Chain A
Amino acid sequence: MEAMASYVKDTELRLGLPGSDASEKPVTRGGKRALLEDESDFNDSSPEEDSGRRSVVASPMAKAQLVGWPPIRTYRKNNFQARKAETEPEAVGLFVKVSMDGAPYLRKIDLKVYKGYKEFREALDIMFKCFSLGEVSRKEGSNGCEYAIIYEDKDGDLMLVGDVPWEMFISSCKRLRIVKGYEARSLKSSQPIL
């Protein structure tokens, strides 16, 4: 019977802090005692160091698992989550990944920094020079480039950079990709890629 009871306790879904265990009696909860012991490590450090970072709970992940905490009405929380998605780019800069075919790693670029397409293309040029992007563009002569820049928009579609006004572009661009060779030529000639 006791084995069953402990099995039940072990497998119960809980809303408490991860790592804390209510079944330990009598006085302090096991979890809380463990948390209090951790406190002693902080005793020697100064208040300034601790005020921003001190957290008895193990990690932000642990916090995120607490149902209904912090106690904010769902309506208000929903309001903020919807808007965090919208407003974060405004506040923090708009970093998107840039991949280039054949390059061993990707880069990230802050779209907020550029005033328009010209600056943007120049920046990409510089960024990917080491992968011979620049050389490719100089090699081909008249239209200057044997590469095309495409992006993935909010709906997940792949679009050619340059069709829409700059402001609209940066608000919908989620990811960039530089394509070279055959694919680039097809895009440039406005033929559909089969």
Chain B
Amino acid sequence: MTYFPDEVVEHIFDFLSSHRDRNNVSTVCKAWYLVEQLSRLRVFVGNCYAVRPERVMARFPGMKCLTVKGKPHFADFNLVPHDWGGDALPWIETAARCCPGLEELRLKRMVVSDESLELLARAFPNFKSLVLISCEGFSTDGLAEIATHCRGLRELDLQENEVEDHGRQWLSCFPDSCTSLVSLNFACLKGEVNTSALERLVARCQNLRCLKLNRAISIESLIKILARAPNLVELGTGSFTADHRTEAYQNLLNAFYKCNSIRNLSGFWDAAPRYLQAIYSICSSLTVLNLSYAPAIQVNDLIKMIRHCFKLQKLWVLDSIGDKGLAAVACACKELQELRVFPSDVYGTGIAAVTEEGLVAISSGCPKLNSLLYFCHQMTNAALITVAKNCPHFTRFRLCILDPVKPDPISNEPLDEGFGAIVKSCKDLKRLSLSGLLTDKVFLYIGMYASRLEMLSIAFAGESDKGMVYVLNGCKNLKKLEIRDSPFGDAALLENVGKYETMRSLWMSSCDVTQGGCKALAAKMPRLNVEVINEREESDEMVENPSDMHRVEKMYVYRTLTGPRDDAPDFVWTF
């Protein structure tokens, strides 16, 4: 390979789409490193504090697409204080200086201000695609900037962000000359938009294939929009409820009849059963169906709809579907690969909606299942063992039993054997979340069998330091480990310190790690940032100078090339 000219090597590298593969080839030799760095177009930064933006853009001057992730995953569940960090502005500012040819930006769990969006809108003449997932800090004013100044924008995808509503005019800011939109997702916005501006925008963007409306859009508007965009492939329906009871249903039926290309449906926030029937005509071509924001849909209507969805590959529902509904899914959806069942009763005090039976039914009816997120009220070892046997192809397995330390209700045993069966059978398992009553044994199994595991989430599990050590010593591909409320302390933390440089990050909260343990880790491993988050309401002498024996409430450890970050708020201490 070293005898080939650079252009040939570069061309060969073009076939490598994964950033991991490109990272690997760049370490082979200096020549390959140089060819690879100049030709990398898509750059992925898994932790915004692992490396400085300047360094990334110096190495990859040809960067066209940048993905950056900010806060740790447990920020999704309110475990990370609001102003912990993850500001996107440094990345956008540096890109504006060093890579003005940037075309795509994808940010996850970052703080994005309106100022950042304004800079983004003006600094990149070829900008085509903005994807924001679980971000916060911006308002519809920032979106107005994007709409106004990004000529040639193809994609604006806002997924589950907290967006402040400053009025309904941002959508009207797309100029009449804008005809390039392919994908527009504003489902997470709470406020109203100018519906006639939206209809005109949809009409002139003939390439529009993905449109996800927010809850403020009624069926009447949806009907008009569908009439102007019959080639949509992905649709988020808006509220799916009508303001007047008149001919909406027949018009809706006609509108959907003309939309032969729809493969992905979501929305249905206030769906009334009578309107659901209008979509039966397209159910048989659906590959993705997300009903997880539609608590108004009753299980019998759901079952009637599901029966038509025999090509479905991805299904997101609420647990009101019940074991009975899941059995119907198992009968109808033989192509199912991903299932997510969310709790409809957030505090779990209601009637048991789905149990282990629903999961077993799915596993026996859907052998292609490889990704699961399942919130339930109980689980048994027998069920998990059956599921492991039926579905050996899991790459993602996340089980959440709402009662944090619940054992197998039939045998009274911990769920070690059940999860053990999963990791033993599913050799490609990359992501695992545990729950229920668990001893150190489950970690022994995980360390022994889960060799491809990259991300592990632990809550209220284990009995001693041994549990955590089994995982650190065993899972050679582990990248992210997040633990809460488990009895792992300094001995576990310090047992295999070199491991953390092979991982992206470690999160531990409400465990038994002490300040002394954190300091010792930081001292041994200078290329890690050991951050301790200290939240206190009143100032307290103990807080100012706590002893090393003081238990640490929240700790976040990550490998980094930059040393301690300079934007850490005063409640974050880096040792």
Q: How far is the CA of A63 from the CA of B349 in the complex (A)?
A: 9
User: Which B residues touch A75, using CB under 8 A?
Assistant: 134, 160-162, 188
- The answer to whether A73 touches B160, judged by C-beta atoms less than 8 angstroms apart, is yes
The interface size bin for chain B is: 35 or more
Q: With A8-B550, A29-B487, A73-B134 as given contacts, are A57 and B403 in contact (CB-CB < 8 Å)?
A: yes
* A22 to B542 Cα, complex, angstroms: 19
CA gap between A51 and B79 in the complex, in Å:
30
Set A13, A66, A79: member contacting B293, Cβ < 8 A: A79
A15 adjacent to B346 (CB under 8 Å): no
Q: Which of B22-30, B58-66, B422-430, B508-516 contacts A (4 or more CB under 8 A)?
A: B508-516
Residues on A lying within 8 angstroms of B by beta carbon are 1, 4-5, 8-9, 12-17, 22-23, 26-29, 32, 35, 39, 42-43, 47, 50-52, 54-57, 60, 63-64, 66-77, 79-81, 83, 87
Does B503 sit within 8 A of A, measured CB to CB? no
Contact indicator A69/B162 (Cβ below 8 Å):
no
Are A68 and B78 in contact, with the CB atoms below 8 A? yes
Min CB–CB distance B418 → chain A (angstroms): 16
On chain B, the residues within 8 Å of A26 by CB distance are: 464
Distance in angstroms from A64 CB to nearest chain B CB is 6
**Is B511 within 8 A of A69, CB to CB?**
no
- 7 A/B residue pairs, CB under 8 Å, sorted by A: A1-B547, A12-B551, A32-B405, A56-B403, A71-B400, A74-B77, A83-B295
Interface assignment of B194: CB less than 8 Å from any CB of chain A: no
A73 touches B403 (CB 8 A): no
User: What's the nearest-Cβ distance from chain B to residue A165, in Å?
Assistant: 15
In the complex, A29 Cα to B511 Cα: how many Å? 11
A47 touches B409 (CB 8 A): yes
- Assembled-state Cα–Cα distance A68/B343 (Å): 14
Cβ of B463 < 8 Å from any Cβ of A?
A: yes
B460 and A17 contact, CB distance less than 8 A: yes
Name the residue on A nearest B296 (C-beta).
A87
Q: Is B406 an interface residue (CB 8 A)?
A: yes
Q: Give bound CA distance, A71 to B400, whole Å.
A: 8
Among A8, A39, A54, A76, contact of B342 (Cβ-Cβ < 8 Å): A76
Main secondary structure of the interface of B (DSSP, over half): loop
Whether B405 contacts A17 by the Cβ 8 Å rule is: yes
Nearest B residue to A66 via CB reads B404
In the complex where A5-B547, A73-B134, A74-B78 touch, is A54 in contact with B409 (Cβ < 8 A)? yes
What 1/0 flags go to B536-548 for Cβ under 8 Å of A?
1000001000110
Give B405's nearest chain A residue, CB to CB: A56
Task: Chain B residues near A55: list those with CB within 8 A.
Answer: 403, 406
Interface contact B77-A72, CB-CB below 8 Å: yes
B74 within 8 A of A: yes
> B484 at interface (Cβ–Cβ under 8 A)?
yes
Q: Select which of B74, B463, B536 is within 8 A of A27 by beta carbon.
A: B463
Assuming the contacts A56-B406, A79-B293, asked whether A22 and B347 have C-beta atoms less than 8 A apart, the reply is: no
Whether B178 is near chain A, meaning CB under 8 Å from some CB there, is no
Given A47-B409, A51-B352, A57-B403: A73 and B76 interface contact (C-beta under 8 Å): yes
Complex Cα gap A28–B342 (Å) = 31
Query: Which of B76, B344, B355 has the most chain A CB within a 10 Å cutoff?
Result: B76
Question: B459 on the interface (CB 8 Å rule)?
Answer: yes
Q: Which of B510-555 contact A (CB under 8 A)?
A: 510-512, 535-536, 542, 546-547, 549-551, 553
Residues on the B chain within 8 Å of A27, using CB? 463-464
- For residue B249, CB closer than 8 A to chain A, the reply is no
Asked if A16 meets B77 with Cβ closer than 8 Å, knowing A8-B550, A64-B347, the reply is no
Contact A43 B412 (CB under 8 A): yes
B233: chain A residues at CB < 8 Å are: none
Residues 540-574 (chain B) with a chain A CB within 8 angstroms: 542, 546-547, 549-551, 553
Chain A residues lying within 8 Å of B546, measured Cβ to Cβ, are 8
| Docked CA distance A70–B398 (Å) | 13
Indicate whether A71 sits within 8 Å of B355 (C-beta atoms), given known contacts A22-B487, A80-B346: no
CB distance from A7 to the nearest CB of B (A): 9
The 8 Å CB contact of A17, one of B348, B485, B511, is: B485
Task: Considering the complex, give the chain A residue whose CB is closest to the CB of B73.
Answer: A71
A57: chain B residues within 8 A (beta carbon): 403-405
Q: Is B407 an interface residue (CB 8 A)?
A: yes
Instruction: Flag whether B283 is at the interface (Cβ < 8 A).
Output: no
Interface residue B12 (Cβ < 8 Å from any Cβ of A):
no
Report the bound CA distance from A35 to B433 in whole Å.
22
